[in-house]
Amino acid sequence: MRAVRVMVGLVVAMVVLGAACHSTARTGTPRVVVGASPDVGKDRIVHYGCGACHEIPGVKGAEGLVGPPLTKFGKRGTIAGELSNTPDNLVRWIRDPHGVEPGTDMPNLGVTNDEARNIAAYLENLQ
Ligand code: HEC
């Protein structure tokens, strides 16, 4: 029994450490947003109309030119030139762009934390 518990502990530790490594990787494997769903994120991107201002690969009709294209977003080093590109920072930007960069043309859209995490999962997967 004890050995089994130690094994389970090791497996959990490996999964957690693995996820942590992925989330800071600069290139190659996508940054993982733990517990979030890229598919749900894509649905939320459509819901909030992000495509009216951004070109977003894989999202029908997302060809806006007001904001920068989000092509290969998972490979970018920074977000809006202000924050390093990590899932947490992306969630922060999506929820409150004006808090990060007062005066930016990107509006605060009232995105919830869960929705922003799913959207971040979709965008960080764009390679
Ligand atoms: C009214 C137009 C508009 C809408 C709607 C909009 N954005 Fe933006 N977005 C912008 C602009 C403009 C910028 C550039 C901000 C800056 O650098 O000051 C931007 C920047 C960004 C960036 C950083 C891009 C980069 O190159 O670093 C991301 C990511 C982003 N938006 C995601 C989203 C998501 C996700 C949504 C939907 C929830 C959304 N935006 C809705 C206008 C918009």
Contacts of 63 (CB under 8 A, 6+ apart): 51, 55
Separation CA 27–CA 68 (nearest Å):
20
Regarding the beta carbon of 91 and ligand 1, being less than 6 Å apart is answered: no
pLDDT, tens digit, for every residue of 16-32?
A: 444 444 444 455 678 88
Distances in whole angstroms, Cα of residue 68 to Cα of each of 4, 8, 25, 52, 115: 51, 45, 23, 11, 21
Distance in angstroms (rounded) separating the CA atoms of residues 18 and 118: 20
Q: Are 35 and 120 in contact (CB under 8 A)?
A: no
Residues 6+ apart with CB under 8 A from 50: 56, 59, 62, 64, 119
Q: Is 119 in the pocket of ligand 1 (CB under 6 A)?
A: yes
As a residue count, the chain comes to 127
Q: For residue range 27-84, list pLDDT tens digits in order.
A: 567 888 999 999 999 999 999 999 999 999 999 999 999 999 999 999 999 999 999 9
Average of pLDDT values for 102-117?
98
Q: Which residues contact 47 (CB under 8 A, 6 or more apart)?
A: none
Q: Is the CB of 52 under 6 A from ligand 1?
A: yes
- Determine the distance separating the centroid of ligand 1 and the alpha carbon of 123, expressed in angstroms: 12
Nearest alpha-carbon partner for 94 in 119, 69, 122: 119
Does ligand 1 have an atom closer than 6 angstroms to the CB of 61? no
Cα(44)–Cα(30) distance, rounded to whole angstroms?
Answer: 20
Atom of ligand 1 nearest to the CA of 123: 29
The predicted pLDDT at position 22 comes to: 46
